[in-house]
């Protein structure tokens, strides 16, 4: 291999080293929720890259092993190829300036080693690291597909290396993790909110709102439950006139559809549906209402209602329907607790 070819190959290895470094830092620092948002609303290629970046974050141990393998191979190759080539180019130059032959080789070697080390640290390590830290999501998506392709090709070797590493960690009582933990406990979040308020990063209203929301994290819905006997309801076979009368009397647009007893709830009827489908009985228009145990926490109850696209939920005690809860009740508690 001639010197020019070796230097060109060294440049490629230097670029490859930088890409692996950037991929390593990006897969750790990229925010998953931002990648998921991009995966949901971007163009086809952008969505593919964002989804791949999310998958990379879920296989953190494998991807970091792939990055380390790539960095090691590029670094070794750079030292084997670029340093001798630069040394061979410098020896004649030193001869032209009259340097003694006994000094040409060691000085050329030292200069080549210093130059390659400098370029490796600056262009191959520090610059890509800084880019990945300041543009984490862009770096994660831009490198996601080629990075995953490399790890796919090297997967058998990486699996072996990971297995050895995990065995060594377990030997010292350390539990390996394959995914970066991002969850925070309510206590940790409360500390973050308190510190942010103290430092002036949150205004007073935002601080109070977040504090109230965290305080209700462990509160149950039982104190907010309205007794089922007080709920606005219509019978399963009520006609349109009866539905209009009860809606006007109770000032509610959503009515429980019940059978023989208040606890025999068939679902929830929106008055609008009754008006749009005259002559149809409530039992045929009712939509199911989620059932929530009285011990359910406020955040969990709100999440359940939102997931079910339901405004009302039925509260149960020992399996029996005892009350009613609405999204408005839960949100008001979050905002005013």
* Assigned domain for 46 exists: yes
Give the residue from 25, 68, 73 showing the smallest Cα distance to 161: 68
* Assigned domain for 94 exists: yes
* Assigned domain for 97 exists: yes
Judgement on whether residues 86 and 234 belong to the same structural domain of the protein: no
Token pair belonging to 163: 């297995």
Are β-strands 320-326 and 226-227 bridged in parallel, bridged antiparallel, or unpaired? antiparallel
- Flag whether pLDDT at 39 surpasses 90: no
Judgement on whether residues 195 and 79 belong to the same structural domain of the protein: no
Q: Identify the pLDDT of residue 183.
A: 47
Q: Identify the pLDDT of residue 191.
A: 65
Q: Give the three-state DSSP class for 321.
A: strand
Q: Identify the pLDDT of residue 170.
A: 86
* Assigned domain for 198 exists: yes
Judgement on whether residues 274 and 229 belong to the same structural domain of the protein: yes
User: Residue 279 burial (CB < 10 Å; 0-12/13-18/19+)?
Assistant: exposed
Residues of the chain above pLDDT 90, percent: 16
Domain count, the chain: 3
Q: Which domain holds residue 331?
A: 222-336
Judgement on whether residues 160 and 273 belong to the same structural domain of the protein: no
Judgement on whether residues 248 and 147 belong to the same structural domain of the protein: no
* Assigned domain for 177 exists: no
- Flag whether pLDDT at 38 surpasses 60: yes
Give the separation between CA 148 and CA 27, rounded to whole angstroms. Answer: 11
Residue pLDDT, tens place only, 124-161: 999 999 998 888 889 999 999 999 999 999 988 988 88
Judgement on whether residues 117 and 15 belong to the same structural domain of the protein: yes
- Flag whether pLDDT at 335 surpasses 80: no
């Amino acid at each position: 291999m001639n010197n020019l070819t070796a230097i060109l190959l060294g440049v490629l290895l230097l670029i490859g080293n930088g890409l692996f470094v950037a991929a390593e830092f990006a897969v750790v620092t990229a925010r998953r929720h931002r990648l998921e948002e991009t995966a949901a609303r971007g163009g086809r290629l952008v969505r593919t890259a964002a989804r791949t970046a999310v998958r990379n974050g879920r296989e953190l141990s494998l991807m970091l092993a792939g990055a380390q393998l790539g960095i090691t191979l590029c670094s070794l190759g750079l030292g084997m190829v670029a340093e001798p080539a630069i040394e061979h180019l410098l020896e004649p130059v030193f001869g032209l300036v009259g340097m003694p032959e006994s000094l040409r080789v060691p000085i050329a070697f030292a200069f080549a080693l210093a130059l390659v080390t400098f370029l490796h640290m600056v262009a191959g390590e520090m610059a890509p690291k800084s880019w990945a830290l300041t543009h984490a999501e862009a770096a994660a998506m831009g490198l996601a597909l080629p990075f995953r392709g490399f790890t796919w090709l090297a997967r058998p070797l990486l699996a072996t290396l990971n297995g050895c590493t995990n065995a060594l960690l377990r030997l010292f009582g350390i539990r390996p993790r394959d995914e970066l933990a991002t969850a925070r406990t309510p206590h940790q979040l409360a500390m973050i909110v308190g510190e942010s308020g103290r430092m002036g990063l949150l205004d007073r209203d935002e601080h109070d709102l977040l504090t109230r929301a965290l305080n209700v994290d462990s509160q149950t819905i039982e104190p907010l439950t309205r007794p089922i006997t007080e709920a606005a309801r219509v019978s399963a076979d009520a006609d349109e006139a009866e539905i209009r009368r009860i809606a006007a009397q109770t000032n509610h647009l959503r009515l429980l559809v019940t059978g023989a007893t208040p606890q025999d709830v068939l679902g929830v009827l929106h008055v609008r549906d009754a008006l749009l489908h005259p002559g149809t009985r409530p039992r045929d228009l009712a939509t199911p209402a989620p059932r929530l145990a009285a011990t359910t926490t406020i955040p969990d109850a709100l999440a359940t209602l939102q997931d079910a696209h339901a405004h009302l939920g039925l509260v149960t005690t020992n399996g029996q329907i005892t009350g009613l809860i609405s999204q408005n009740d839960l949100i008001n508690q979050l905002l005013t607790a």
